[in-house]
Every structure is written in C-alpha cells, then in structure tokens.
Amino acid sequence: MILQVETQSPENPMPSSTKTAVMIIGGAEDKVHGREILHTFWSRSGGTDAVIAIIPSASREPALIGQRYKQIFEEMGAKSIHILDIRDRIQGSDPDFQQIIEDCTGIFMTGGDQLRLCGLLADTPLMERIRQRVKKGEISLAGTSAGAAVMGHHMIAGGSSGEWPNRALVDMAMGLGIFPEIIVDQHFHNRNRMARLLSAFAGHTERLAIGIDEDTCALFEQDGLIQVIGQGTVTIVDARELTYTNAADSEPNSPLSLHNLRLHILSHGDGYHLHKNIAIAKTSQKIT
C-alpha cells in the first residue's frame, strides 16, 4: 500500500504541508514526559489544525481512556477532538460518526482487547471509509497495543509467551486489513513474545512479521518506508528466502521448524522499506 497526500479541499481538510502516516505503536507509549510518539501523531494529523477522532472501543473503560487521550491532544493544541465511543456494531453506520470520519485529519485507536475492537468495527461502513481515507493519504491513523494488533489481515488475538514456537501457542483471527501484508505483535520484548510471533507467522510466511516494543512505534510513510520511533526496538522477520517449515504437518504442541529466516532488529532512527525488503541504518542518507 502506498499512501498519497492530497491537497487541501472541502472534502479533505488536511493541511497540504502535512505528511500523513500510519503509526503502529507497541503499547505503553509515553503519555507524561516527552510524548514523542503521541506528538508525532498530532503533528502528522495537522498539528494545530488537527481534527482528531479517538476510537477507544478496545478498552473495557472506553469513556475513561478516551478522555485521557483527548486531554493529551488538547494540551498539544489540536483544533478539535472527538471520541467515537462505539459499543455496538450498529454504531458503525451512525451518520454522525461517519461525518466525524469525513471531517477528521487523524484517527487514534487505543489499547484493550483487539477481538472486541474488530468485532465492533470490521466490515462496517465506518471502518470501510476509514480504510479508504487512509489508503488515499487523506488522514493519519495510529493504533496502540490492541489498536496495533488489528492492522494486518491476519491478527494475533491472544496466546502465551516464553515457550518454543508451536501452533497451539497463538490464537489467530481476522484483523482490519489496513496493511494486509503484515502480522503485528505488541508489547513485544517486554512480554517475551518472539515465540508467539513466530508461531503466528509460521502459517502465513508470505506475510512480514513485525514485533513492536512498548513506547516504540513503526511509522509507515507514504512510499513504503517504515521509520522507528521511541525507546525500544521493532523486530522484523522476513521469510522470502525460507527453505523449510514443518508448520503444515506438526502437531499443535510440537516445536516448529523455520529455516533460513531473515531477522532485523531496528531501533530509533532506523528504517525498513516495505516494498524493497531492506533495512536502513539511521546514518543512511537515502535509499537506492
């Protein structure tokens, strides 16, 4: 997916100087001190011209978490902030909510339960319009924790940590498909989820597996470049050169084999090109 920025118009209120992006955040982003990741989202949504829609539906306390993020973006100086407290799928057809999506320049999906979030949003007119506007580069989109997990077509819905990779370790479901080519896991090294990500990835090796640490963001630029922001790392596993896996034949609790994977560990300032499948050091000046 390549995002295109369009100039400002009545249908597209985004300031023409703003570069939209999709920000996939590993959870527990700094909300108190530098707020680097949240400030980047605010900036990519238009800064003082930002009209932000917060979707806290993944949370068990959506009103509380929605107000928390609303206060943060108010303090940064956003022009307007709306909380879309969606608790029933029928609200995905609500004309008032749909108008907010038409007017906004940025959408932020909070953490919580990714199954709840997908259950409320998937295949609704509201979600389809969000997907369209993101694809056209009309708005920035961010998701943290559960809001990050839903970004791919295949989604990690749950599972365990700290074991060897095996098919029983992870529960899979359908995500929202913003970037169908990726599988995302969050709170990654903080919760020892490498085996879980590999277990999810083993059945879908045509995808790119991405593990994102807490207070860390994989920022997807318009041209397919992923930039890393934050305190931790982004782990990328690429199976384009995979030579063998036993995933199709193994018992659910049996260890998985995955031969000849390519692994990248990226820290703040590093990058990865989604279409060229190359990692870029923070000292690099350009991609050839």
Q: What is the pLDDT of residues 11-49, one digit of tens each?
A: 445 666 689 999 999 999 999 999 999 999 999 999 999
Whether the pLDDT of residue 6 is over 50: the answer is no
* Confidence (pLDDT) at 162: 79
Q: Can 214 be counted among the known catalytic residues?
A: yes
Number of domains into which the chain is organized:
1
Q: Is residue 285 part of a domain?
A: no
Mean pLDDT of the region 74-87: 98
Distance CA 287, CA 272 (A): 10
* Cα Rg, the chain, nearest whole Å: 18
* Confidence (pLDDT) at 284: 65
CATH number at residue 225: 3.40.50.880
Residue with tokens 């530098």: 34
* Confidence (pLDDT) at 7: 31
Per-residue pLDDT tens digits for 107-133: 999 999 999 999 999 999 999 999 999
* Confidence (pLDDT) at 283: 73
Catalytic residue from among 145, 154, 199, 221: 145
- Its domain, for residue 272, covers 22-280
Mean pLDDT over each residue of the chain, to the nearest integer: 93
Whether the pLDDT of residue 153 is over 50: the answer is yes
* Crossing angle between the packed helical segments 95-103 and 125-135, to the nearest 10 degrees: 10
178-207 core/surface letters (b: 16 or more CB in 10 A; e: else): bbeebbbbbbbbebebbbbbbbbbbbbbeb
Q: Is residue 96 part of a domain?
A: yes
* Confidence (pLDDT) at 4: 30
3-class state of residue 287 by DSSP:
coil
Catalytic residue from among 29, 138, 214, 221: 214
On whether the CB atoms of residues 45 and 106 are closer than 8 A, the answer is yes
Catalytic residue from among 29, 82, 187, 199: 187
Nearest CA among 166, 211, 276, 170 for reference residue 26: 211
Per-residue pLDDT tens digits for 245-268: 999 999 999 999 999 999 999 999
Distance CA 225, CA 151 (A): 16
Q: Can 145 be counted among the known catalytic residues?
A: yes
Q: Is residue 6 part of a domain?
A: no
* Confidence (pLDDT) at 10: 39
- The alpha-helical segments, DSSP class H, found in the chain are 36-44, 62-76, 95-103, 114-121, 125-135, 146-149, 194-202
Q: Is residue 15 part of a domain?
A: no
Global pTM? 0.93
